[in-house]
Structure 1
Amino acid sequence: MVNISCSYDKGYESYEKYLCKNDCGDSDVLITTLESWKNKYRIHDDKTARIFTTTISDLHSADAGKYWCGVTRTGKDIYTEVKLKLVPDSCCDTVTKVQSYEGYSESVSCPYESRYHNSLKYICRGNRPSTCLQQALITSDTKQNGRFRLDDDKVSGTFTVTINSLTRNDSGSYLCGVQGNSDVDVFSAVELEVEEWCCVKAKHINGIVGNLLLLQCPYPPQHRNNSKFLCKGDQRNKCTDISMDQRVTLQDDAASSSFTVRIRYSDVHDTGTYWCGSDPQWRVGNYTKIELSVVTVRCVTCDIGVSSNIYALFSDLKS
């Protein structure tokens, strides 16, 4: 569908208007304001704005070409030339692929030519240029819309769209659009794949009430100077930081790229799911999931030689 709008001078508000093609003979007239709808053409005359608009639906390649907006009057009619160019409603030969994970924030970079510095930028889902602007998730006029933010760097000729709190539903095709100055809009294509974050193997650890628990948490060498954390909760994005608990201490060993968590005076309430790591973005591989079970054991015979200070020592979580 396309709209062809033509303005006319004051004084012609009540005159008949029409859209024609080719030589504008009687057989070339497609529709007039005497009939609001004909075949796949609709016409509307806004007499206040002095603009009449013809809508052409169900476009095909044969619809491309030269049109004339006409105003009927005594003598020679008034004509305005319009050229309709049709392009395939799909994009693009090259697609940029971006991979991320649930819960992350990801940025999509969209380059453009210097002549479009001051043009409107936007992004939409799908790969249909014809409806992209109408269905835009965000534009450079709004800059922030919910989870979406758009930043335009005119020096580098790139605008960036950042999507926060990604979900699997965000996976799919996107179009970066730049509004053309006088021609059709310019697009580039992006394919975003958001992978599920769930598939993390947990380390299972058992402990005894009242004894000291040692948990070993490895981290990438490049995270040596990062803050380390320990939190508790079934879901990592809803876990509670317990690093400041007086019973808990974290000791970093940069040489082994790991840190040790000590939990003193363990209790049955310590049972649960723990997460330790060094990456606030929770990238896969930069954290450890621990399933801890703390139970009470009755002393049947007190001569069994069990250490009263350290009963459970768990130091090899890397394997």
Structure 2
Amino acid sequence: MKILLIFTLSLISGPVGCVDVTGYSGGSIILISNLYSSSAKSNYICKVENRECTDIIRLDPGKNRGQVERFMLYKNTEGFLTAFIRKLKPQDAGMYRMGAGTQRYTDVTLKVVNDSCCAGPKIMNAYRGQNTSIICNYPAEYERDYKYIMKLGNDSVIKAILDPGSKSQNSRFSISDDSSAKVLSVNISDVREADDGVYLCVGYNRVDSVPYFSYFTEIQLHVRAALTASPFNGVHSSSSPVIIISVCVCVALLLIGGLALIIYKLRPKRTQGSTPSSKDNEQVSFYI
């Protein structure tokens, strides 16, 4: 796959001392180091402040994965030490150290930027069997950069859906990139339960020979049961028809009652035991 090829070629140059990366408030970021070692006393990520590095996650020997709140540290399928930070906040900015043992490490300085395109996680609903679109606005700096959409599974990135440069399109998925509007969108036809999950819109970047992946938009897609036919309007809703009918009946009764009251009040008054004269009839007819 094109993603894997770029990723691998970018890492074969070996570890780099210090890297500056940019993330977006409300988005996520993946920091990658090729320093993972199964024989090291521990693999870790810590945050450097006042010349001290405070542990965030430390993997004991034999462990390939750990998570603390929004931070995750794991060995990816290519064997690289990977830190995944979700739902970035301004206070996440600063220097991080990723390492294996005490002697081998890489320092990464994270800058967290506010951008109107990346307002935090979004929630979408879709129905089985229908079509839907996942739409991501992206920062201006990624207009000409490599972008794609990935799906998150079991709290870890499991697969890339598509990228605009793909020559082949999945039969149910298609992707487009409107660079003028800075919108990346994936259209999904015949939505299925397996499509439910978290989708991340990603920008690929590379600084000083080290790649990083900035997820500027996170979308939670909820797949619901398909709508069923109804004799009322072709779409079934458990309570809507009952409510509508009840309201209509009440309105009709109120109208009938009001009309009856008006007619009653406008009827001519008769004196018991007397017969109205023709003059009275003419007067009554006039007022009616």
- Could you say which TM-score interval applies, normalised by the shorter chain? 0.3 to 0.5
TM-score after normalising by structure 1: 0.38
More relative contact order in 1 or in 2 (CA 8 Å, sep 6+)? 2
In terms of fraction of residues, the more helix-rich structure is 2
